[in-house]
């Protein structure tokens, strides 16, 4: 079946540093990647949508200069949290939409980010 | 934009009873409605989905119903088991083969033995 590999699974970083999260589709091409953030006991909140080779579209209230998204190929998308602060601590998860497959959403395993 | 409301936020049932979770969506153009089960710290797992051209779909103990006119869809779990305990999310999407998925707030289901 379709697999999205997300790394790292857990990361602890110091306040003010940047963290890169990577999502890679292992056995399929992903035209679109969705990035979500989930705080404890809350829902998955869509942060942005990226399409291969074009700029990401950010949801209202999400700072595009803070959350940098790159979708350089059909198998790799990255989210970089720049100048991280404790309030950025959350569970980040990607979801890849498979090319030419109706509603083929495949989720990564998520990244637990803790900013200290 | 699309908004999805989900109720209840918590649900406790006895083993063997049925559980029903309800969602409403705001955008009448939504055409795909999946349900996910999420365990703590894990990725959401698709348990059943329905498209807008279908009113009901069933898979063993799980069923989903869709009322397009009222913009409601519901998850029904029958003969609940303790292993059904988890957080369940509904979602809605617009787009021919998939647009952005907007999630409901989630329902924490507890099945007591």
pLDDT digits (tens, 9 = 90+) for A23-48: 999 988 888 999 999 999 999 999 99
pLDDT above 90: residue B75: yes
Q: Which residues share a beta bridge with B111?
A: B13
User: Starting at the edge strand that comes first in sequence, how are the strands of the sheet with A76-81 ordered?
Assistant: A4-7, A19-25, A76-81, A67-73
pLDDT band at A113 (very low <50, low <70, confident <90, very high): very high
**Residue in chain A nearest B50 by alpha carbon:** A103
Q: What are the phi and psi torsion angles at B84 (to 5°)?
A: -80, -10
Question: Residues near A54 by Cβ (< 8 Å), separated by ≥ 6?
Answer: A71
Asked whether the beta carbons of A38 and A91 are under 8 A apart, the reply is yes
Q: Write the pLDDT tens digit of every residue in A39-98.
A: 999 999 999 999 888 889 999 999 999 999 999 888 999 999 999 999 999 999 999 998
Q: B100 and A104 in contact by Cβ < 8 A?
A: no
Task: State the CB neighbour count (10 A cutoff) for residue A62.
Answer: 17
Contact B43 A109 (CB under 8 A): yes
**What's residue A100's pLDDT?**
66
Looking at every residue in chain B, the average pLDDT score rounds to 95
User: Does the CB of B34 have a partner CB in chain A at under 8 Å?
Assistant: yes
Q: A4 with A24: CB under 8 angstroms? A: yes
pLDDT score, position A98: 84
CA gap A15, A11 in Å, rounded: 12
**Nearest-by-CA chain A residue for B97:** A102
């Amino acid at each position: 079946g379709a697999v999205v590999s997300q790394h790292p699974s857990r990361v602890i970083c110091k306040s003010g540093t940047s963290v890169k999260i990577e999502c890679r589709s292992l056995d399929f091409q992903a035209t679109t990647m969705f990035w979500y953030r989930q705080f404890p006991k809350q829902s998955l909140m869509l942060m942005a949508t990226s399409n291969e080779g074009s700029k990401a579209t950010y949801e209202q209230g999400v700072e595009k200069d803070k959350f940098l998204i790159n979708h350089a190929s059909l198998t790799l998308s990255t989210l970089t949290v720049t100048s991280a602060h404790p309030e950025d601590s959350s569970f980040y998860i990607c979801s890849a939409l498979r090319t030419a497959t109706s509603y083929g959403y495949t989720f990564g395993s998520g990244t637990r980010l803790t900013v200290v | 934009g699309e908004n999805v409301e989900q109720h209840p936020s918590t649900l406790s049932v006895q083993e063997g009873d049925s559980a029903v979770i309800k969602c409403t969506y705001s955008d009448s153009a939504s055409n795909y409605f999946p349900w996910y089960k999420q365990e703590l710290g894990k990725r959401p797992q698709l348990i059943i989905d329905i498209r807008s051209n279908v009113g009901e779909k069933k898979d063993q103990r799980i069923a989903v119903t869709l009322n397009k006119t009222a913009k409601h869809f519901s998850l029904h779990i029958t003969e609940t088991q303790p292993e059904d305990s988890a957080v369940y999310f509904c979602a809605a999407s617009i787009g021919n083969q998939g647009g952005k998925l907007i999630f409901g707030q989630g329902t924490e289901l507890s099945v007591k033995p």
